Amino acid sequence: MIIIDGVSDRPIDGKTPLSEAYTPNMDKIASLGINGIMDTIAPGIRPGSDTGHLALLGYDPFKYYTGRGPIEAAGAGIELQPGDIAFRVNFGTVEGNGNVFDKIVIDRRAGRINETQPLVNAIMQNVKLDVDFILAKGSGHRAALVLRGNKLSDKITDTDPKVIGKKVKKCRPLEDDEKARFTAEIVNDFMEKTHRILENHPLNKERGKKGLLKANVLLLRGVGKAVHIPTFREKYDMSLAVISGTTLIRGIGKILGGDLIDVKGMTGSKNTNIKGKVEAAIRCLDKYDFVLLHFKAPDEFGHDGDFNGKKEFIERIDRELEPILNLDFSRICLILTGDHSTPVMVKEHTADPVPVIILHEGVRVDEVKRFSEFEAYKGGLCRIHGMDLTNIALDLIDRAKKFGA
């Protein structure tokens, strides 16, 4: 399963980055397979990358999704325990006077800083709370935070205002409950203590001298409580390999009991090693039943509103997919799709359906010749739900179980 994150768009003057991209290899896959469009979750529901990927792997996000935090934490290498409270974290930049909650967020990604491990180390070494905590670096400007203790609740608000130009939000309880109040107090204490350390850290002072944005605040969102999810092996009796440089997708692989495959130069961004990831995926087919290959950058270009950047990166992916066409599709079932749309005109995830191709011996090949939003809907798959995708593939490879006599 190849997932191009945020691949599809709404048209601008009748064009999208995908429809304008030169993609002979994806088009070849389209011509050999069966095509359709897919509502990753349901029509009109805007998927997150987390809920979208859960659905594509056949896990009902309405049942198993408690928040992005636990997934991000697992992807960052934190071994979660039942009851842990986890958050997604951005290193951001604030300016102003007073305490952290008086200050204005001027960049939610601190200039897309990448080298944050010294900042993480300083926080882990110097911050003391009334509960245990773990902060771990994620990809790029991202990190993950886990609070661990007996009196904690996930019924609290974020501290990330989610837009620039607004103050850092104070964490508040969502329930009139002692645990929720206590957890909110812990989070606010953490926010202030970490801000003081980050503001005075040598790395940030050096960034300031160079005219770079300081990573002087941690913005928390996506809070959730760790819960048990059946592993991929338990659900399908299949082994799973995940190839992604994105912490969130690695986290999904981790919580589903899959193996995370490391590739040199894999970053989860536009400078990732596309060729190395494709080569690793092909090698994994000899060892694993199911291989998930994920590319993040098109989603980032969509969020940035960069039409040409998204188009060119899709073309880069396509050039490296040529070896995929040499696979034995009587043995291998190939799925090519996205997890959601991230239109450059919206700069956010939308519920617009994504194109999907399934290529395997025995599929009812249709007349679609291009991988694009404007062609996929003409294909034989018609319009499907993301939750059905893995089941369709399992049926094609004779791993589906009969329902009834």
- Is residue 57 left, alpha or beta, with left meaning phi > 0 and alpha meaning psi from -120 to 50? alpha
Domains and CATH numbers, the chain: 2-65+229-396 (3.40.720.10), 74-225 (no CATH)
- Beta-bridge partners for 220: 89
The Cα 12–Cα 20 span in angstroms is 11
In the chain, the percentage of residues whose pLDDT exceeds 70 is 100
In the chain, the percentage of residues whose pLDDT exceeds 90 is 90
For residues 346 and 307, is the Cβ–Cβ distance under 8 A?
no
Task: Answer yes or no: is pLDDT of 139 > 90.
Answer: no
- Predicted TM-score (pTM) of this structure: 0.83
CA dihedral (117, 123, 126, 131) in degrees, to 10, reads -130
Taking only the tens place, the pLDDT of each residue in 196-248 is 999 999 999 999 999 999 999 999 999 999 888 899 999 999 999 999 999 88
E strand segments, 226-289? 240-243, 259-260
Tokens of 90: 């951005």
DSSP 341: B
